Amino acid sequence: MRLWRKLMIGLARSESITGFMHGSRLMNRFSRQFVGGGNALEGVQRADELRKRGISASMFVLGEYEDTEERVRSMVSDLEEVFPLLREAGLDQHVSVDPTQIGSMLSWESCRENAVRLGEEMAGHASGRCTALMVDMEDASVTAPTLDLYAALKDMGLPVAVTVQAYLHRSREDIENLVQGGAMVRLVKGAFAEDGSVALTSRKDIDERYRELLGVLFSDQARESGVYPVIGSHDHRMIEHAVKLADERGWSREQWEVEMLLGVRPQYQSELVRQGVSLRAYLPYGRKWWPYSVRRIGENPRNLWFVGRSVFGV
């Protein structure tokens, strides 16, 4: 499985394969399953459709590992396009961002400046309780600066949230610190092929750790400090555990939510909405769909079936 993930990450990062795939005509077909649209307007229209089905969205412009000033500038302006469109549509949504989209490969200072700019724009357009700039978490070499980035924005009073990967050995301590600060935390298992020196590597251990961290996120202390847990998983066992903890410990359905990727386990997503669980879809949009799709397949080979079905129309 680790080899599979490494292979998929290699494919996602290959410039020649990416260039070839983006020039191909597969986008429309692929987008039916996992991608919200080719631009911000189509993405917002998709978010509006989801809202009508009781699902909120976390908007994500496709693209990562931007390594020149020009590419970072272009990505930041793509990200900025979405705020007025969301406001026009009357949608209060999350906007997810990877540090490598907004300058961390150039310098963390540049990344912070861009994040502050986005956070301020978001604050200017926001009216809903849940609206946040959600910072995604990339590989283990950048966990510390990514948490520092989150803390800097939070200190400035900007609407920011952060993702924590359960598989990292350091995550229990990170979650405890975030709980003290009353953070909005998206807990995920972790998608990168990390070494055993920094992360758990067996599925069983990762699941156990995920449950343990759910216990911290749904603690009385967390509720008192205003923590908003976001359960970033498609795993019904983790979600059922979260529902159980939340119900037992008196958390209302407005105080936490589940977030799943657009198009993954769609029937289960509808079932959660029927059960009254607050559900958010991670909604990617834009032209750069290849690295994103390959990463989804890397996470779960079962997603290969969905992609194949969309592309070949079977």
The span from the CA of 99 to the CA of 112, in Å, is 9
Q: Which residues pair with 55 in a beta bridge?
A: 279
Q: Which residues are catalytic?
A: 136, 186
| Spatial distance between the Cα atoms of 134 and 210, rounded to a whole number of angstroms | 20
Asked if residue 175 lies in contact with residue 185, where contact means CB atoms within 8 angstroms, the answer is yes
- Measured from the CB atom, is 54 or 84 closer to ligand FAD? 54
Residues 245-274 that bind ligand FAD (CB under 6 A): 259-261, 264-265
Q: What is the DSSP letter of 60?
A: E
Tell me how far, at minimum, the Cβ of 241 lies from ligand FAD, in Å.
12
Between 234 and 288, CB nearer to ligand FAD: 234
Max CA pair span of the chain? 52
# residues near ligand FAD by CB under 6 A: 24
Contacting ligand FAD within 160-179 (CB under 6 A): 163, 165
User: How many whole angstroms from its chain centre is CA 233?
Assistant: 10
Site membership for ligand FAD, residue 147 (CB under 6 A) = no
Is 119 an interacting residue with respect to ligand FAD (CB under 6 A)?
A: no
The answer to whether residue 6 forms part of the interface with ligand FAD (CB under 6 A) is no
Please state the closest distance from residue 23 (CB atom) to ligand FAD, in A. 28
Give me the torsion for CA of 33, 39, 40, 41, rounded to 10°: -90
CA torsion angle 180 184 189 193 (round to 10) = -90
Q: Which is nearer to ligand FAD, 165 or 293 (CB)?
A: 165
- Residue 132 is a binding residue for ligand FAD (CB under 6 A): no
> Which pairs from 258-262 meet CB under 8 Å and 24+ separation?
258/230, 258/231, 258/233, 259/58, 259/186, 259/230, 259/231, 259/232, 260/232, 260/233, 260/234, 261/34, 261/234, 261/296, 262/34, 262/35, 262/36, 262/46
In terms of CB distance, is 91 or 168 closer to ligand FAD?
A: 168
Q: Which of 137, 149, 178, 277 binds ligand FAD (CB under 6 A)?
A: 137
Look up residue 278 and give its two tokens. 């607050």
Q: For the CB of residue 233, give the shortest distance to ligand FAD in the complex, in Å.
A: 3
CB of 70 to ligand FAD, least distance (A): 25
Residues 294-313, interacting with ligand FAD (CB under 6 A): 299-300, 302-303
Identified binder of ligand FAD from the candidate list 42, 120, 176, 235, rule CB under 6 A: 235
Nearer to ligand FAD by C-beta: 209 or 265? 265
Within 187-226, which residues bind ligand FAD (CB under 6 A)?
A: 188-192
Given the complex with ligand FAD, which of 233 and 278 has the nearer CB atom? 233
Is the distance from CB of 311 to CB of 29 less than 8 angstroms? yes
Q: How far is the CB of 195 from ligand FAD (least distance, A)?
A: 15
Give 127-158 as a DSSP string. Answer: -STT--EEEP---GGGHHHHHHHHHHHHHTT-
Q: Which two tokens stand for residue 215?
A: 């216990």
Q: Which residues in this chain contact ligand FAD in the complex, by CB under 6 A?
A: 136-137, 163, 165, 188-192, 232-235, 238, 259-261, 264-265, 282, 299-300, 302-303
